[in-house]
Amino acid sequence: MYLKETVDKLLKKHNRSLSWLASEMGKSFDGLKLSLVKGSIKYQDLILLSRKLQVHPGELFESDHTGYSPEEWRNVLQEGEAQYNNVKKELSSCKELNEALRNQLKDKERIIELLNQDKP
C-alpha cells in the first residue's frame, strides 16, 4: 500500500482533509501530496505527520505491526526528540569551543608577532 493511501485512510478516520494536515505541518498542499505519492517524505515530516494523525510512525507503512498504545508511541517519539536535542546542544558546545580555540590561536599569533618585533 502506498503511503498516500494510508494517510488518506487515517485522515478519513479522523474526518480531516489533506489540506488540513498540510496546514498543521506547515507544508503546502501540493508539496505534501507529492512527497506522499512519491514516498520522498523526510523523516522529521513523518514524525510530525504521525503526531498530527495520532498514530505510531510504523502504522504509516505496511507491516505486521501489532500496534502500540498511544502512551508507548509518545515515549518512542520523545526518546528520538530528546536524542536530537542532545546532539543540537553538543553541536552548539563544539561551535563555542571551536570559536574559543580560534581566538586563542589568534592571540598567540599576535604575541609571537609582537615578540619578533622587539628582536634587533
Do 80 and 47 belong to one domain?
no
On whether the pTM is more than 0.85, the answer is no
Do 85 and 34 belong to one domain?
no
20 membership: H or E segment, kind and range:
helix 18-25
Do 24 and 39 belong to one domain?
yes
What CATH number is given to the structural domain containing 38? Answer: 1.10.260.40
CA 118/CA 120 separation, integer angstroms: 6
Domain that holds residue 119: 68-120
57 — alpha (psi -120 to 50), left (phi > 0) or beta?
A: alpha
Does position 90 have pLDDT exceeding 90, yes or no? no
Do 5 and 18 belong to one domain?
yes
Q: What is the pLDDT of residues 17-68, one digit of tens each?
A: 999 999 999 999 999 998 888 888 888 898 999 999 988 887 887 654 455 5
**Which residues, 6 or more positions from 80, have their beta carbon under 8 angstroms from its beta carbon?**
47
What is the total count of domains within the chain? 2
Q: What is the pLDDT of residues 97-113, one digit of tens each?
A: 999 999 999 999 999 99
